[in-house]
Amino acid sequence: MDAIDGPAVIKLSEQDAIAGLALSTEAHWNQTEEDWRIFLRDGVVFGIRDGARLVATAALLPYSGNNAWISMVLVTESHRRRGLATRLVDACLEAARKDGLTCWLDATPDGARVYGPLGFTPTSQLRRLKLVKSRSVSGQAPSTATLDALCDRDRRATGLDRTALLSAFAQRPGSRIVTANGAIALVRDGRAARHIGPLFADHTTAALALVGAIAASETSPLLIDAVASQSQFLDGLTASGWTIERPFQRMRLGRATAMAEEMPFAVAGPEFG
């Protein structure tokens, strides 16, 4: 089927959350139904159907300062290599152009080779790590932190106001915001593993200690998306049993509009930035 003559690109609604979740689950991604509702409620998700079945998606999630995140680019296996993902990303870019938005995304190595010719330029890199079973650690148990404290630190590190996103995360059952020794992080449920991030700290020792304390208090597998330039943090994670699953290349299309005051140790996730 030629991509130009294929089925129409449509805008999805919150009623499509379960169908979107089926696509990300097929890809073994960690999103939950609540994650999909964030994109569908606060952003725009473009989709393609084959009959009644949703077979491809791409999302554009706006943030403050005329920035937006492109993510959830998914195509079910039976419909790949038909140009569907390209059409959906083009729809996101066109929507962003109309609103004057700078677009960001976190790409796999294969994706980076696709987005580069579209004008995206590399910025930072991420490493997704997984911990299946925690090694017992001793030390200070983390205290509960406020959402305001997390949002303030996130704003300093990203240059963006993401209060709505972090509030949605924090309000979910099982979510917690924890802090110790100048480090702060959010921990939330995922489909297959709990996710740590964003995580901010005054220094590497505090970041590693907070991750260790979180891991010691969790029974489920854990994921974290660490900033690759925080090399001592990455080394400390792998030394304590975390394994690197995959890299991501952060990329930007358009001029930089957000100024960061500090570098995070881990981000909210490649789908959220």
Judged by phi (left if over 0) then psi (alpha if -120 to 50, else beta), residue 2 lies in: beta
Q: What is the pLDDT of residue 133?
A: 78
Taking only the tens place, the pLDDT of each residue in 22-49 is 999 999 999 999 999 999 999 999 999 9
Quote the CA–CA distance of 3 and 8 in Å, as a whole number. Answer: 10
The predicted pLDDT at position 4 comes to: 52
Given this chain, do its domains 9-100 and 127-253 carry the same CATH topology?
Answer: yes
Confidence at residue 111, expressed as pLDDT on a 0 to 100 scale: 87
pLDDT number for residue 3: 45
CATH topology of domain 127-253: Aminopeptidase (3.40.630)
The reported pLDDT for the residue numbered 256 is 80
Domain ranges in the chain are 9-100, 127-253
Longest dimension (CA), the chain: 61
The predicted pLDDT at position 137 comes to 56
CA-CA-CA-CA torsion sign (24, 29, 31, 36): negative
Q: Low-confidence residues of the chain, pLDDT below 70?
A: 1-5, 134-140, 258
**Torsion angle defined by CA atoms of residues 30, 35, 37 and 39, in that order, rounded to the nearest 10 degrees:** -100
pLDDT score at 247? 97
CATH topology for 9-100?
Aminopeptidase (3.40.630)
Give per-residue pLDDT as tens, 223-234: 999 999 999 999
